[in-house]
Chains A and B, each alone.
Chain A
Amino acid sequence: MIRFRLMFDKDKEVKWLDQMATDGYALKNFVMGFYSFVPCEKGEWQYQIDIGQGFFSVKPEYREFMEEMGVEIVQPWGPWVILRRHREEGAFELYSDVDSRIEHYKKILLLFKLVGLMELLGLIFSVYLAVKASEGWPGVFMLAAIVCVFMNMIVRTKRILNGLYEQKGETPAGYNGRRVSALVPVGMLINSVNLLLQDRLPTPVRMVMMIIALILILYGVATTAAGKTQ
């Protein structure tokens, strides 16, 4: 069974993979958003996602170490490593204390910052190209949507880190970052699709889509500004 999902939040991803395993489907393979599952005994596996030291690979000593712990490396993907362990071996938690959790989320934050920065530069460049050639706007909206998603992930990760620092007894510098409402990237994607299908869709349909996209973006910006998205 193959499922397609774009997941940026590894905590949600782990939850979903665990739920799938509870339902009797074990993740066997992952390629660019395509998750392929094979049947397993219900609740046989527990999943975790680590951020490794390699890129699309893990160090041999990491693999050896994890194997000794009864942990199977399902697949490295980019800087991420998908791991699993039999549920019968007990609760599967990678990071058991505040200090190591802080280190873990610091790495994740750095990663999101780096990728987010690259996306942002790409967005600026694509706007420049689109203005110059007066085409290529679908790409601009798509990139803008991705930038929104990454900004949200940075905000989310910072919140987690702040919670951890607080737990440790350190008072973090006040952080009031806001997450962009999910409506904004959705509106941008609709707009992007709309522009892509310019010649194929009748004008009334396009007008309706355009209005929907605009309402979504505006409403999303408004709720974000009002601080309603947590």
Chain B
Amino acid sequence: MINKAVEKDLPLTEAVFYILLAVRRPNHGYGIIGEVEEMTAGRVVLGAGTLYGALQTLEKKGWITVVSADAGSRKKKEYVITETGREVFTAERERIAELLKNSTLMDAPGLPDKLEGQI
């Protein structure tokens, strides 16, 4: 059962889905791009503008938060998923699971007789 409160935010775009996944533990911009690229075997390579826009939106929505890791003079912004972010992700996961489960219907043999002639 998908949580009603987060339902309006679904489905997530592929970019947002993978960004949330990449910040399950603190991660910085470059790390997110690299991890997503690796997970998808090079299929999804996030553009700098796409990632910047998405991170800003996600932060505004409260799905991720910044954990400033200013080690010494060189500070690198790191992002990590929040509780709300996890809820949304879980809801999306359930939605996708439903898709996947229903997709197996395609393998089931036998069309209704009346349709068989038409296809």
Interface residues of A (CB under 8 A from B): 48, 50, 61-62, 64-66, 68-69, 71, 91, 93-97, 99-100, 103-104
Residues of B within 8 A of A68 (CB): 28-30, 76-77
Residues of A within 8 A of B53 (CB): 100, 103
> B48 to A99, Cβ gap below 8 A?
no
Report the nearest A residue to B13, measured CB to CB: A99
Other-chain residue from B28, B50, B76, B77 in contact with A96 (beta carbon distance below 8 A): B50
Residues of A within 8 A of B45 (CB): 91, 93, 96
Which B residues, 17 to 76, have Cβ-Cβ distances below 8 Å to chain A?
28-30, 33, 44-50, 52-54, 76
> A65 to B52, Cβ gap below 8 A?
yes
Other-chain residue from A64, A71, A97, A104 in contact with B48 (beta carbon distance below 8 A): A71
> B77 to A95, Cβ gap below 8 A?
no
> A97 to B15, Cβ gap below 8 A?
yes
> B15 to A61, Cβ gap below 8 A?
no
Report the nearest B residue to A93, measured CB to CB: B47
Residues of A within 8 A of B14 (CB): 97
Among B49, B54, B77, residue most surrounded by chain A Cβ atoms (within 10 Å): B49
Q: Nearest Cβ in chain A — how far from B77, in angstroms?
A: 7
Other-chain residue from A50, A61, A64 in contact with B49 (beta carbon distance below 8 A): A50
Q: Nearest Cβ in chain B — how far from A95, in angstroms?
A: 5
Among B14, B44, B50, B54, residue most surrounded by chain A Cβ atoms (within 10 Å): B50
Q: Nearest Cβ in chain B — how far from A63, in angstroms?
A: 11
Bound Cα distance from A96 to B44, whole angstroms: 8
Q: Given A65-B77, A68-B76, A100-B15 in contact, is the A95-B50 Cβ separation under 8 Å?
A: yes
Q: Nearest Cβ in chain B — how far from A93, in angstroms?
A: 5
Bound Cα distance from A195 to B44, whole angstroms: 56
Bound Cα distance from A61 to B33, whole angstroms: 18
